[in-house]
Structure 1
Amino acid sequence: MTRGTIPDKWSMRLLWLCALGSAVGFYMVAVERQTQNRDKMMAELGNIESSGGSSEDV
């Protein structure tokens, strides 16, 4: 009954590999979204500064 030990070991390694790959993928998506949000905020800040803030005085 030792036949199940080797496949179990490899399936556990495969499971950890998939989990690690998913974690790396989620991290890369989070970094990309953070970069996009920062770029969007900087663009909006540039638009506010270029308009002189006259819309806030109304």
Structure 2
Amino acid sequence: MSSRGVISDKWSLRILWGCAIGTAISLYMVAVERQTQNRNRALAESLEAAEAQGDNGSV
């Protein structure tokens, strides 16, 4: 009677590591997506600023 539960300690540790790695990958992907969105927003704002400056200079 050496079994301590339905899932042995070895498998529970593997599941824990799998969840930890999956969480880390998910957080990395969210960070990359936010960085991409911020970069696109900054480019759009700089383009709008350049267009506004160009319109003011030509009038």
**Residues of 2 paired with 1:34 and 1:27: CA distance?**
11
What 5-or-longer segments of structure 1 have no aligned partner? none
**What is the TM-score of this pair, normalised by structure 1?**
0.82
Residue in 2 aligned with 1:39? 40
Q: String of CA shifts for 1:6-57, please: whole Å, max 9, x gaps.
A: 70000000000000000000000000000000000000000000011788xx
Q: Name the counterpart of 1:3.
A: 3
2:59 matches 1:26: no
Q: State the identity %.
A: 52
Distance in 2, matches of 1:27 and 1:15, equals 18
Q: Which residue in 1 is equivalent to 2:53?
A: 52
Number of residue pairs the alignment of both structures matches: 54
Which 4+ runs in 1 deviate beyond 3 A? none
Mind listing any 5+ residue stretches in structure 2 that lack a counterpart?
A: none
CA-based RMSD: 2.1
Q: TM-score of the superposition, structure 2-length normalised?
A: 0.80
